[in-house]
Structure 1
Amino acid sequence: MMQLSDTTDSTTLGYWLNWRVYLCVFSVLLCMVLASFTIWKRESSRNLTFDKRENQQDRDLCGDEAWKPCLKSIHPACLLAFRVVSFASLLASLIAKLHVTRGVTFYYYTQWTFTLVTIYFGCGSMLSVYGCYMYRKSTETTFNEDVTRIDEEQGPYLPLLYQDATNVSRTEPLANTNINIQKNQHAPIWSYIFHILFQISAGAVMLTDCVYWLIIFPFLTLRDYDLNFMTVNMHTVNFVLLFGDAALNCLRIPWSGMSFFVLWTGVYVIVQWIIHACVSIWWPYPFLDLSSPYAPLWYLLLALMHIPCYGFFMLVLEMKHYFLSKWFPSSYQC
């Protein structure tokens, strides 16, 4: 755990009443306002096109992308197994970290992101269980339809008793379809929430690991940071597991989804400001210290890092979809 010595008292008015703080606060709030406006515009556009069913890009409203693998040859149970194992691993690491630090771990953006990814895999596991159930029901429906078609071809030569069973089998596909439609009316809501978690996690994981391995580890570790297995685990396993899930699932992330990521980081920064305004305590990351003359530059650099971090993850996903559609055209289903 990194605890840098803090010589400036952040609870005094002199700490907050200066141009550096004003500029940093303005930049963070401006980013959050723009992100909120982007989300509002996106949702307004989605509501207008939802009833028409003409916007093919709003695939997260279909309800099955949250649990459907990217290839038909991959059974949904494989994605379920991966998510359950990932959730168990992340949860075990998080509990161990909480036990060691006694809750202080949530002072860091890393643990916010790690907890978010844990929640993501927990929700994904539940949605995959639902998806396996729906996949099984659809398989049974397809089988019943095949039996019905055979019965219709052989109908005049079948006994009356079997003909009654045939009539039942003819109505089962319709009944199952109605059940599926009713259930799928609720599925898009959870799929949409899950998609938001995916978009936030995609950027937050990249930002967390990039800041740690490119800034904190090279420049701060040698002086006052104790590198251990748990620290390395917190900054690697979330990245590996999230990319593994992205390789299997059907989800995409649009550029507008970066707005959720920006809001996530903005909320963390504001929470840090509130804490330091009330308590004189060390900053979890030295570049967040508003007393530094380079604070506006650090905040600007941190804001700009959101673009390549989110964009890299988005690029990897688009490359995955492109190559899978070329290599497995008959099995690709994203």
Structure 2
Amino acid sequence: MRFITGAGASGARSYQPLATADTTDLRYWLHWRVGLCALWVLGCMSVAAYLIWRREGPGADRRPGGASYPDNPSAREGRRRPDGVLYDDEAWRPCLRDIHPAWLLAYRLISFFVLLSLLVVIVISDGGNIFYYYTQWTFILVTIYFGLGTALSIYGCSKFTDENVAAVAADMEHGTNYIAHGVAAKTAFDEHDGGREIAGFWGYLLQIIYQTNAGAVMLTDCVFWFIIFPFLTVKDYNLNFLLIGMHSVNAVFLLGEAALNSLRFPWFRIAYFFLWTALYVIFQWIVHAATPTWWPYPFLDLSSNLAPLWYLAVAVMQLPCYVVFKLVIKLKHCLLTKWFPISFVRG
């Protein structure tokens, strides 16, 4: 893969990769390199499919080899829930009981509008070709996450208010004093009370997108700053505000979200990160099989003898990227458990 530099849309020096082979030629795809790269991709997808089938959802433990998790809330009391189970209130409540859900709503709303505005500016500046890149795919997914999160937070705030109104009415009816705003709703946060509602489709979708973004954002930013950026520096490429924003703002907002929300972070959902990356690779293969065009990332070019090593390296790199975010979540739990032992909500 070769590159040339020239004036970009913003007037700065940019790079344009040049195609090294005709990807529409059948002989290009019948090479041993393609078969080996396809093996890495299919291997990741197979592992992901098994993990999802085995662990996802409230019915996962009823599959072969698992202990059943009762549908009856009273029967679940005192039992440890499986990793694949998500409660409805976890999609919208903060990780501390003393924080009103409206604060998480405000954060998600601001993040959504900032990311959406940046995305619109980039499309206007550089055109639709930006969607050719994994970075933009992930950036769109992060934006969708905050949009969906905002909608669920609005629903959660409404539900939170209704619960408090009902609790006040019950206290007045029984002649008890209402101590503090939100106390009644806090009791529903206990892990083993047996009365918490299992999340619906949108709650699970939010959780899946959240953990997909966790790995994908780390991967895009690490690849850019540690692999692509040094190359661009050698080529005298001038970074602009939009390029820096696309490879930093997404991580900043997602880390802030992780610090505030109460969503769980089980290991098995790395499967969705695997599928997201594999989907992008397959998309690139389909596009190149239909059109002789350049590869957005040099290491995706299958004409190089090093292509299988590059594909394997990217596949392996997904693990540490996901681990980094997992460690951030663990650090958050350790600190909040120490600083706010009563207020911290343990998922």
Q: TM-score range by the shorter chain?
A: 0.7 to 0.9
Secondary structure at 1:320 match in 2: helix
Counterpart mapping for 1:42-61 below 5 A: 42-43=55-56, 45-46=60-61, 48-49=68-69, 51=71, 53=76, 54-58=79-83, 60-61=85-86
CA separation of 1:226/1:274 partners in 2, compared to 1, >3 Å: closer, same or farther? farther
Out of 292, 301, 317, the residue aligned to residue 329 of structure 2 is 317
Alpha-carbon separation, structure 2, partners of 1:12 and 1:286: 19
Cα distance change on mapping 1:221 and 1:277 into 2, 3 Å: farther
- Asked whether the 8 Å contact 2:86–2:198 carries over to 1, the reply is no
Structure 1 residue 188: Cα displacement: 3.0
Task: Determine which of 95, 103, 114 is the counterpart of 1:89.
Answer: 114
1:251 to partner: Cα distance: 1.1
39-48 or 237-246, which deviates more: 39-48
Aligned twin of 1:10: 23
Structure 1 residues 50, 296: CA separation in 2 closer, same or farther (over 3 Å shift)? farther
Q: Is 2:93 the partner of 1:68?
A: yes
Confirm whether residue 209 of structure 1 aligns to residue 221 of structure 2. Answer: yes
Contact 1:46–1:58 (CA under 8 A) maintained in structure 2: no
Q: How much does 1:255 deviate?
A: 1.1
CA distance 1:186–1:56, shift in 2 (3 Å)? closer
> Which consecutive aligned stretches of 4+ in structure 1 deviate over 6 angstroms post-superposition?
none
How far residue 57 of structure 1 moved from its aligned partner, in angstroms, is 4.1
Equivalent residue letter for 2:154: V
From 21, 29, 36, the counterpart of 2:42: 29
C-alpha distance in structure 1 between counterparts of 2:236 and 2:53, whole Å: 43
Q: 1:301 aligns with which of 304, 310, 313?
A: 313
Confirm or deny: 8 A CA contact 2:109 2:150 kept in the other structure: yes
RMSD over aligned Cα atoms: 2.1
Q: Normalising by structure 1, report the TM-score.
A: 0.86
How far, CA to CA, are the matches of 2:238 and 2:23 in structure 1? 25
Confirm or deny: 8 A CA contact 2:93 2:156 kept in the other structure. yes
Structure with more contact order per residue of length (Cα contacts < 8 Å, sep ≥ 6): 1
Q: How many residues align structurally?
A: 305
CA distance in 1, matches of 2:295, 2:238: 16
Residue pair 1:288, 1:299 contacting (<8 A) in 2 also: yes
Query: Match for residue 278 of structure 2?
Result: 266
**1:255 aligns to what?**
267
Equivalent position amino acid for 1:230 in 2: L
Q: 83, 93, 116: which is aligned to 2:141? A: 116
Which residue pairs with 1:163 in the alignment?
Answer: none
- SS of 1:3's equivalent in the other structure is strand
Q: Distance in 2 between matches of 1:262 and 1:250?
A: 23
Q: 2 CA distance for matches of 1:50 and 1:114?
A: 38
CA contact (8 A) 1:10 1:277 kept: yes
If you compute each CA radius of gyration, which structure gives the higher value, 1 or 2?
1
Out of 314-323 and 237-246, give the one that drifted further: 314-323
User: Distance between the aligned counterparts of 1:191 and 1:114, measured in 2?
Assistant: 20
1:106 correspondence with 2:131: yes
Aligned letter for 2:106? A
Structure-2 residue corresponding to 1:40: 53
Counterpart-to-counterpart distance in 1, 2:140 and 2:70:
32
Q: Secondary structure at the match of 1:32?
A: helix
1:41-71 Cα distance to aligned partner (Å, 9 max, x none): 1135255425253442447521011111011
Shift of 1:210: 0.4
8 Å CA contact 1:61, 1:189 repeated in 2: no
Contact kept in structure 2, 1:2 and 1:224, CA below 8 Å: no
Moved more, 184-193 or 125-134: 184-193
The C-alpha deviation readout for 1:252-307, integer Å capped at 9, x for no partner, is 21110100000000000000001111111110000010111111110111001110
Structure with more of its chain in helix, by fraction:
1
Residues of 2 paired with 1:88 and 1:116: CA distance? Answer: 14
Equivalent position SS for 1:64: helix
- Taking a change above 3 Å as real, the CA distance of residues 326 and 332 of structure 1, as seen in their structure-2 partners, is same
Once the two structures are superposed, the pairs formed by residues 107-186 of structure 1 within 5 Å of their partners are 107-150=132-175
Flag the 1:14–1:226 CA change in 2: closer, same or farther, 3 A.
farther
**SS of corresponding position for 1:4:** strand
Deviates more, 1:303-312 or 1:96-105: 96-105
SS at match of 2:88: coil
Structure 2 unaligned blocks of 5 or more: 1-13, 63-67, 177-183, 189-195
